[in-house]
Amino acid sequence: MKTTHTLIPGEYLSRQLSDQDALELVAEAGQLWVTMEGDANDYVLTPGDRQCFQGPGLLLIETLGQENANLQLAIEPRFAAKLLSNTCQV
């Protein structure tokens, strides 16, 4: 399932991923700061960047800077994750 979101400065979006979920995040406009429970890394995404995450855990996405940020999320069961994108290996 793909969804598109617009976040205003200072706004955040969270998603709880089950152990069966895989998620692909694509930044379309603005800058995003992303962190995932259990992942030691944080990610800064700019337009055109994509990042993949797999559950279980809480995913937190927040805008950076003073611009709106547009993003697209695709959440699928892990067995379907390879269909999300050729560049996404979850």
User: Would you state the pLDDT for residue 88?
Assistant: 57
**Residues 15-64: tens digit of each pLDDT:** 999 888 889 999 999 999 999 999 999 999 999 999 999 889 999 999 99
Residue-range domain boundaries for the chain? 2-81
| pTM of this structure | 0.82
Q: Tell whether the model's pLDDT for residue 87 goes beyond 90.
A: no
Assign 89 a pLDDT band (cuts: 50, 70, 90).
Answer: very low
Architecture of domain 2-81: Sandwich (2.60)
Report DSSP state, residue 54.
E
Listed residue (87, 86, 81, 83) closest to 19, CA to CA: 81
